[in-house]
Structure 1
Amino acid sequence: MYQDFAVQSRPEIGPPRLAELRRACADAGLAGFIVPRADAYQGEYVAASDARLGWLTGFTGSAGFCIALSDIAGVFIDGRYRVQVRAEVDLDHFTPVHWPETRPGAWLREQLESGDRVGFDPWLHTKSEIDRIRGDLEGSGIALVESANLIDAIWSDRPAPPAEPARIHPAEFAGESASDKRARLAEGLRAQDAAAAVITLPDSLCWLLNIRGADLPRNPVVQAFGVLFEDGTLKLFADAAKFDADLRTHLGEAVSILPPGALGAALEAIEGPVLVDPDTAPLAVSLRLADHGTKILWDRDPCILPKARKNAAEIAGMEAAHQRDAVAMVAFLRWLDQEAPSGTLSETKVVTALENFRRASNSLLDISFDTICGVGDHAARPHYRVSTQSNSPIKPGDVLLVDSGGQYVDGTTDITRTVAVGPVPPEVRRPFTRVLQGMIALSRARFPRGLAGRDLDALARAPLWAEGWDYDHGTGHGVGAALCVHEGPARISRISEIPLEPGMILSNEPGYYREGAFGIRIENLILTEQAEEAGDKRDQLGFATLTWVPIDRRLIDTALLSPDERDWLDTYHAQVLERIGPLVEPDLRDWLTKACAPL
């Protein structure tokens, strides 16, 4: 799907690359060019070959984009990355822009004049995204125009696209055959009078076909595009070398594998309306269909909601993975308790040790994301990633934040614990307790069916709001079943309008971050389920906890907790001991017993 352009001399990192991009813009008659974090598959994580934003700016966060103009280059980042971006980009040449508070269209209106043209690669942006920017530019005379990718034109040593082998996801963990899934979704297409649906999210295709891969770090997906037809057949556009004979047998004759470059012709050959997701499909897909006169049905990717509603087998797999992961986490926390007060540990040593504890089970496929491990100001950056340059020692009196997870054949985990190292700083107890109260409030919530994440987000924030505090990230994201650790469409966020449904698995992770001082986050995964009948027997949902790892009681100001909150925490710790205690050695069980003692 990538076009070839003439390769110019290789620019150096940072400002020289920006200067080279500006020359390419001038040659193309453009006032600027948009460089997104996203790749053509519109996933959160990108392969090295698609890390254009990082290549240009040095920013390594998982969300954001740069708009490079002739005299300013804005790096648009949300609240998670406002500390990180200042540490990673050259502030003499790149200007951080608070987004979404500042919309790109409004920013362009301030920077440019009528008649200016800004280019973008339609393979790297969705229709919804481009429509929003064009809407904000309406009446300005500034044009947003499709363009060849100018970064690819100057990136002379760009890595090759990933070509890792795919594998079969066992039926015992999938809970439904791939043929049944295709038939179920095809029935939905027929009900919409759609001839086909274009599926561009790799995790959607992996779920639909009961396959997994290794094309992206930490995410077990195969990078591919797919077209599902109303008769249940599917064309998969991917590197054929990823699929061995066993996998082809698994896919069956109803699934044909075609080269990625054949997608355009296949789109033109479809007779009848085609379903396209405006929020996930690259704009180039709908442009190709529109150019051929094909009717487009704008609707959600048909895999997204079925994938989010985990079936009984997927839930069982997630529960087993979390139990296995909890054993590793308990061993890690005991080790941390013993070693950290000595002052000999560092952030990188902790990251390495935690991965080793997970690998000791001999069942870890990979970690589910790069571990976030930080003390002091590093912990105040919600998505901080330690490096050899930033690595900090861990000293008595520190508060350590560790956010990590594992990928197993049967499930995906994500857990955050904030722990005291030696003496507890008194200024940390109150915010830690407020964060804990928010996590408990969401864990205990029961609510009418039909409510969305935005309706519940305030439950986790209210204890912090009462202090005049808040956090600049969502309270929770969806989690895949042995798939991506960040999964749509549901989440706990003030902007999420997707109704929660039974089977959806979400993170519950309020936090508090004091820049320059410390960071706090507590995270469990929770399963949405039907609530037991109560009151006047209204249809209500609630959450079941999946994560069973002790929370550091030393950091709690118990005077702030209500009796119900104390009962919840004591009950949670009793369940941790009951579930995990029998799975660990006696000496580790002794530590766990103390860590889970009632308040």
Structure 2
Amino acid sequence: MQTHEARLDALRAELKRRGLDGFVIPISDEHMSEYVGAYAQRLAWLTGFGGSAGTAVVLADKAAIFVDGRYTIQVREQVDGRLYEYQSVPQTSPAAWLGQNAAPGARIGYDAWLHAKPWADGVAKALAAKQATLVAVDSNPVDAVWQDRPAPSVLPAVPHAEEHAGQSVAEKRAALAQWLADHGADAAVVTALDGVAWLLNLRGADVDRTPVALSFVLAHADGTVDLFIAPEKVTGELVAHLGNAVRVQDRTAFVPALEALAGKTVAVDPERAVAAVFHALEGAGARVLTLTDPTVLPKACKNPVEQAGHRAAQARDGAAVSRFLHWLSVAGPQGGETELSAAARLLAEREKTGLLKDLSFDTISGAGPNAAIPHYRVDEQSNRAIEPGSVYLVDSGGQYRDGTTDITRTVWIGPGEAPAEVKDRFTRVLKGHIALDQAVFPLGTPGGALDSFARQFLWAAGLDYAHGTGHGVGSFLAVHEGPQRIAKASGAQAGTGQGLLPGMILSNEPGYYKAGEYGIRIENLVLVEEREIAGAEGAFCGFETLTFVPIDRALVDLALLTPAERAWWNAYHARTLALLAPLLDGADRAWLEEACAPI
């Protein structure tokens, strides 16, 4: 097996052969996906980095890898610092680094099928200041040296039943056609995999943890749709489900179809469609309207059927997580368990439901110092024992036909009491979680405006965390779904300006991380709902809590909780007990009753 140094050398040799002085390697695919199929894991293959967000830039004499605060520790553990400089985003960026390090006259390559057009425009501008050039490659040079690269999935695309979707394909096509008419457009390009899946009520198994099928859509003003997908993925059942108004074409016909839109007005989302789509349309003489993908907001605002499905999935999943936490409360203090064995046990509990389709992301099972890595992913090399007298964090979720779950619980592994500092930090995180859960806000308030609700108690102690507080969640789709987000409002935190609307589902997950020692996070999912307030001047919203699993009282410093916060705790646990007790029995139910007792 090649070392990462050998792979880097091979890439540099390939770049030299092509007359390129550098190349940019993101974690991305042709659909700008967050999680990508094995065939598109170019950054992991080249560098060893296993996170879900990052970029490498390779020049002839140096290279750098760019990650945000979630991966500060992880990148140093997985990527050889002799080969790559560690760079932190948003403090710097590939564009800024190239502007400083590319030589005058350099030709820097990029794959236009893996980058958004605004990114390409920004990097080209930074390079132009150095008389250097950004060059779109005909084929990806990483693929040329990745000899055992997996092929894209050929698993079939399958219908997503209306009993779960809550709306027919015909209704969604008609709404999109009206949107096109309203914007004076002839067609819209939908390249985001979850957008295609939502619009056509189809799902797939082409990306681990996200039930989507590799495909593109071209939607027309007459209400018809062209679906571009590999023929081997199409079944008779799918064709019958889609109906005559959806033309199924080979995935390879996508670019020719774009080029055939000469003279047409075509809507394309610059955040979700790759630069190559713009190149094809502009090169053919189409008029491009840069607009948000018309599937984004309808997909984010769950209809009543989807909301009901989420509640059912959350209860089922909550019972599975509770069975796991009961098991851990017994097994953990005895020693002998590891991060991997715990993750396997949690998966087994979810599988007992008989309805689990997949995990919604790789389980973050972090013991002791590994819990201080917010997006830690355990493997055979990093696997730690879950030691008695330590903190254990588990962030996990399931994909069910009726909903997607995501929950984090942090627990104290006895015997003995948790240290005062750990209880202080946990309680500050809890107080922030409660404050956000109880927030009431005007309809359309941006997510960024709510972020400090969750951070205020940490800030008061001079503490913070380097990730967002809340992300959108799909309906049997992506566990990270836009456009809504609760995070610090900066340029690097896309989505914080999106107004929160009824039907949107978000996570509520403040945390605290002490590098090399422990990590804390408490995460529930919440649903934006309208709130009736006597005398209110305008429309207001709040959150309906969706996730119900006990929170570990062993980590709470009760002296730090106000009476109102204690009331929240007791009400939350009373609801947890009422919801989950009928789904549990025996020792599991007895554990739940004790865990949910009032404080």
Same fold (TM over 0.5): yes
Give the alignment's Cα RMSD to 1 decimal.
1.2
Do the aligned residues in 2 keep the contact of 1:234 with 1:255 (CA within 8 Å)? yes
Do 2:98 and 2:126's aligned partners in 1 also have CA atoms closer than 8 Å? no
Partner of 1:236: 227
What is the CA distance between 1:131 and its match in structure 2? 2.2
Identity among equivalent pairs (%): 49
Report the alpha carbon displacement of residue 186 of structure 1 after superposing the two structures with TM.
Answer: 0.8
Residue of structure 2 equivalent to 1:155: 146
Aligned length: 589
Identify which range, 570-579 or 109-118, moves more after superposition.
109-118
Q: Secondary structure at the match of 1:469?
A: coil
Q: Which residue of 2 aligns with 1:65?
A: 55
Of the candidates 368, 372, 379, which is equivalent to residue 380 of structure 1?
A: 372
Question: 1: CA distance between counterparts of 2:369 and 2:330?
Answer: 24
Deviations 1:474-528 (A, max 9, x none): 1111000111111111111123111110000000101100000000000000000
1:87 is the counterpart of 2:80: no
Pick one of 88, 96, 99 that aligns with 1:98: 88
Q: Which residue of 2 aligns with 1:412?
A: 404
Residues 334-386 of structure 1 deviation map (CA, whole Å, 9 limit, x = unaligned): 11101110001111110000000011111111111110001111100011111
In the other structure, the counterpart of 2:462 is: 468
1:193 aligns with 2:187: no
One-letter amino acid matched to 1:267 = L
Gaps of 5+ in 2: 490-495
Cα distance in 2 for residues equivalent to 1:594 and 1:234: 55
In structure 2, what is the Cα distance between the partners aligned to 1:340 and 1:185? 52
The reply to whether residue 25 of structure 1 matches residue 15 of structure 2 is yes
Q: 2:438 aligns with which of 419, 436, 444?
A: 444
Comparing 25-34 and 176-185, the one that deviates more:
25-34
Q: Is the 8 A contact 2:216 2:228 kept in 1?
A: yes
Match among 241, 246, 251 for residue 242 of structure 2: 251
Residue 401 of structure 1 aligns to a residue whose secondary structure is strand
Alpha-carbon distance between aligned partners in 2 of 1:459 and 1:142, rounded to the nearest angstrom: 45
Alpha-carbon distance, 1:94 to partner: 1.3
1:354 and 2:346 matched = yes
Distance 1:457 1:138, change over 3 A: farther
Which whole-Å deviations, capped at 9, do the CAs of 1:310-351 have from their partners, x for residues lacking one?
Answer: 000000000000010111111111111011100011111100
What amino acid maps onto 1:110 in structure 2? Q
The corresponding residue for 1:432 is 426
Distance 1:395 1:14 in 2: 33
- Deviation at 1:424? 3.1
SS of alignment partner, residue 419 of structure 1: strand
CA deviation after TM superposition for structure 1 residue 133, in Å: 2.4
Q: What do the CA deviations read for 1:161-210 (whole angstroms, capped 9, x no partner)?
A: 11111211111111110111011011110111111011101110110011
CA distance in 2, matches of 1:212, 1:219: 9
Given residue 353 of structure 1, which amino acid in structure 2 is its aligned partner?
A: R
Q: For residues 140 and 494 of structure 1, what CA distance do their matches in structure 2 show?
A: 33
Q: Choose the corresponding residue for 2:293, options 297, 301, 321.
A: 301
Structure 1 position 535, deviation (Å): 4.2
Shift of 1:25: 1.8
> What residue is the counterpart of 2:210 in the other structure?
219
Residue by residue over 1:185-237, the C-alpha shift from the partner in whole angstroms, topping out at 9 and shown as x without a partner, is: 11110111111011101110110011111001111101101100111111111
- Of the three residues 307, 311, 316, the one matched with 1:315 is 307
Q: Distance in 1 between matches of 2:429 and 2:128?
A: 43
Q: Which residue of 1 aligns with 2:389?
A: 397
Q: CA offset at residue 396 of structure 1?
A: 0.9
Does structure 2 conserve the Cα–Cα contact (< 8 Å) formed by 1:129 and 1:279?
no
Aligned to 1:577: 577
Query: Displacement, 1:142?
Result: 2.3
CA distance in 1, matches of 2:365, 2:538: 43
The answer to whether the Cα contact below 8 Å between 2:260 and 2:284 also exists between their aligned partners in 1 is no
**Larger deviation: 533-542 or 380-389?**
533-542
Question: How many angstroms does 1:389 deviate by?
Answer: 1.3
Q: How does 1:318-333 map to 2 (within 5 A)?
A: 318-333=310-325
Structure 1 residue 528 corresponds to structure 2 residue 519: no
3-state SS, counterpart of residue 372 of structure 2? coil
Residue 479 (1) aligns with residue 470 (2): no
Distance 1:27 1:502 in 2: 54
- SS of 1:470's partner is coil
Q: Distance in 1 between matches of 2:558 and 2:7?
A: 54
Give the superposition deviation at 1:16. 1.0
Q: Normalising by structure 2, what TM-score?
A: 0.97
Q: CA deviation at 1:138?
A: 4.7
Deviation per residue, 1:257-301 (Å, 9 max, x gap): 111111111112225101111111010011011111111011011
2:497 pairs with 1:497: yes
What do residues 33-61 of structure 1 show as CA deviations (whole Å, max 9, x unaligned)? 00010111110111111100001000010
The one-letter code matched in structure 1 to 2:427 is T
Matched letter for residue 318 of structure 1 = H
Which residue of the other structure, out of 339, 342, 360, is the alignment partner of 1:368?
360
Partner of 2:492: none
State the alpha-carbon separation in 2 of the partners of residues 382 and 397 from structure 1.
21
Alignment counterpart, residue 181 of structure 1, candidates 144, 166, 172: 172
Give the one of 258, 262, 267 matched to 2:258.
267
Question: Structure 1 residue runs of 4+, over 4 Å off?
Answer: none
Aligned to 2:543: 543
